[in-house]
Amino acid sequence: MSTIPNTGTVTFTIKSVPLTDGGFRTVERLMRLERGAQRILKKLQHKRKVELNEWRPRAGREWLVRARCTRLVRVVAGQSFTLQVTPQLAKDIASVADHLDFKTVK
C-alpha cells in the first residue's frame, strides 16, 4: 500500500465504515471539508440564521429557538469525496487510513 501524500488533491473512497465512534466522526469531519460540502453548509448556515431561527415567548420574554444544523454527509461504504490535503490533515487521515482508499487527482 502506498502512502497518502501530504499535499495535493486526493479523492478518497470509503471502503468500510469505522466501528469506533471517534473514527466515524473523523471520516465525517473529513467529508465536510470537501469544497462542495462547505459551500452548501455555508448556504444552510445563512438560511438558518435569517429564516429558520424563530423567537418565541418563554417566561414572559422573547427566547431564540435555534434550528438544528443539517447532517449533510453520510458515512457509508462506497461514498467518495475529494480533498485538498494539507500537512495539518495528515494525522486525521492516517488515523482512518485503513477504512479509506485514495487516488491522487492530477
How far apart are the C-alpha atoms of 84 and 70, rounded to whole Å? 23
> How many whole angstroms from its chain centre is CA 58?
34
Q: Are 85 and 9 in contact (CB under 8 A)?
A: yes
* Cell numbers describing residue 3: 502512502
Q: Give the 3-state secondary structure of residue 91.
A: helix
From 26, 7, 41, select the one nearest 100 (Cα to Cα): 26
pLDDT at 106 exceeding the cut of 60: yes
pTM of the entire structure?
Answer: 0.83
Q: Could you read off the pLDDT of 80-104 as tens digits, one per residue?
A: 999 999 999 999 999 999 999 999 9
* Domain ranges (residues) in the chain: 8-104
How does the average pLDDT of the chain come out, rounded?
93
